[in-house]
Copies of this chain bind each other. A is one copy, B any other.
């Protein structure tokens, strides 16, 4: 007897290999559905294994699988921000945004469920994972701007822009990914410059940044 064509054939895997296979299956399901619409049976089926096997690797069930998948997605997002520190600043920001928007595009429903809040799997731990990604984004920006001790106004400006980018991503998914990603990317870069320019009127550190690093590019 051969297994049904729809479900992947069961293969014996090593512990780490099996764990990562289950995680991949979960990540793929959580990316495109709200967490409440993913069951452990779905994960087992997608991975071609039994439900008890999923429990053996993730005794905490769906919550544990979700958090593991979220940690893996957060790591992927951090890698989006990894951009060499060379060449003009704004194209660097543009390239990081390109990768970020590709991630958003590929994790649409999961991204929305995660950031919209009120999900059944949301806990202070999942919130902390997401906040860690936001903090990493802010640190990357500061390091590209070559700012080591950002004052409160510059910090607030950068964090406001990061939040606005998140909001734009959610609206973008909600509006059938319009405008096209490359237009959205350019628009977000322009907003970054505009916000810094407004802050520069009130803050000497930001003013120096806008006069120096950004002036040549805009």
User: Oligomeric state, in number of copies?
Assistant: 2
**Which segment, of A15-23, A25-33, A152-160, faces chain B?**
A152-160
* Distance to closest chain B CB from A163 (angstroms): 4
Q: Is B202 a contact partner of A183 (Cβ separation < 8 A)? A: yes
Band of interface residues on A: 35 or more
Q: Is A160 a contact partner of B167 (Cβ separation < 8 A)? A: yes
- Where the two chains meet, the residues of A that have a C-beta atom closer than 8 Å to any C-beta of B are 116-119, 122-128, 130, 152-153, 155-156, 159-164, 166-168, 171-172, 175, 178-179, 183, 187, 190-191, 194-195, 197-199, 201-202
- Those 8 A-B pairs whose CB atoms lie nearest each other, nearest first: A118-B127, A163-B167, A194-B194, A160-B164, A118-B124, A164-B164, A117-B117, A190-B198
Q: A118-B126, A194-B194 are in contact. List 4 more A-B contacts (CB 8 A).
A: A119-B124, A160-B171, A187-B199, A190-B198
